[in-house]
Chains A and B, each alone.
Chain A
Amino acid sequence: MQPLLEVQDLEVCFARRQVLRRVSFSIAPGETLGIVGESGSGKSVTALSIMGLLSRPGRVTGGRVLWHGEDLLQLPPDSHRQLRGKAMAMIFQEPMTCLNPVYTVEKQISEVLMLHRGMSKKEAAEAAADYLEQVGIAEPMARLRNYPHELSGGMRQRVMIAMALAGEPELLIADEPTTALDVTVQAQILDLLKQLQAKTGMAMILITHDLGLVAENAERGVVMYAGEVVEEGSVEELFTNPAHPYTQGLLRSLPRWGEQQDMLYTIPGTVPRRLEGIAGCAFAERCPLAEERCAEPQSMHRFSATQAARCWRTKDKVGDAEWQSR
């Protein structure tokens, strides 16, 4: 089956500094893909590049982003814009400030409906209540007349989700959708997203630094480090049998339920400030298993049918199998 979205060797620079390199992954219709990585690993830049929202000085310098087989990066900006909100929608980290303070909830949802579904003002106003109900907001008619500052953070994120749904997208990119919310609200929002996904059949890219969220919500995961994909696999594989030392380190750093630990494990060192001059593995300088050959560039090595890692040790274990993302 043709993937819904396929990212191939994406490279992004901010001014002269490279922030993404060799980023490849794909997502099938209806699937949930988790992208994990720490701050600055390039998760959000990847999402913005897919959406065509990268703004100066950011610039895609290489690679392809195939949407149903068509390269989005070659589209004229206006055609790409028309896909946004309709084919692919995005929700952001800051629900407090993502809604326009001068319009009511109704106006904001209606705008998407009028823009992408060709509804009249009146039809849109009626449909808006429907969407609020779908995202689990009580008394939708009353909430429609509210301004954003009258709503709580969780409610605002629900409104954002309603606006994303209103375009009936095939892909929803959720960039840290729950980071700014309370833990209880977090769970509700993710439940809601899953439930809506089941109903509409849209695919979702869940971007987060929280491994737990990926484990609970995604089918496959992509682990990013310093602008590179270091490992990709199904969630079971990533969590039970991680191949890349970075993924292994991340999992060791998690506190475990019921286990007495005096100190949590931490990965020594820090993320490299710049990628220039690092031809090989960006993680090598922090890696307990680093060897000399880690300074040489390498591609993803296939570990199983669905799992691959950018590490020589994987290649040693399984040999030189050709890896094709999905």
Chain B
Amino acid sequence: MFAHTNPSAVEPAAVQSLGIDCGYGGEPLIKDLSFSVKRGEIFFVIGGSGCGKSTLLRHLIGLNRPTRGDVRFFGRSFLDADAAHRREFLKTFGVLYQGGALWSSLTLMENICLPLEEYTTLNSSERQELAAFKLSQVGLAGYEGYFPSEISGGMKKRAGLARALALDPAIVFFDEPSAGLDPITSRKLDELILQIRDLLGTTCVVVSHELDSIFGIADRVLMLDKQARGQIALGDPRALALGSEDPRVREFLGRNARPGENGFDSV
């Protein structure tokens, strides 16, 4: 349809992590982690609770600074960017936080208009039209005037996604998109992620441990482990579930542990 003519032969990775150490002071939770996410890929970061998935996400999106290594978006360093360039980076990605993280004092419409106000030259009515469109894309048409406290958890998440997509970012980060949602809503959200990728070519980086989502929409998964302090597997989830040599990976993806077989690991 509208083939994107790329001048360079080798396209830089949308998201690239180069040997980063993540943690909150003291011993890092993740050590020397390197991976890259291709443009238009749906990339899952998986692993058991406490393995550092959300920590990794916080370090990728700049909420925390890795103590070592570099994070690059489309081949350019995000960490070394000065204040002006940092703003350029910030508008190239959107983040869907776990609970939606909608600003509770603003209506849904205002929530979505805020990034537009900050980063575009659109006037008020254009912003509102665009916000209404974004809300209808996530199935929330007609809820423009609602406050976040007046809608359900699933709706908050969808509104959060509409806000994350407000600037049509090249990359969207999702923090546990299906946590706390019923299977149907969760599947719909997965479909929405697929749709956004197919329609807009958006790169999606998803932190999750929902097997249905992982097998349903992930192109590749990166599995983290607490003991290993980093990556223990990377690749197609279906192939990993069958062919991984690491029992931890097979166990996680195969869900073949019987109740009571190994119990909780003592922390």
Say whether A associates with B. Answer: no
User: What residues make up the interface of B, taking CB atoms closer than 8 Å to A?
Assistant: none
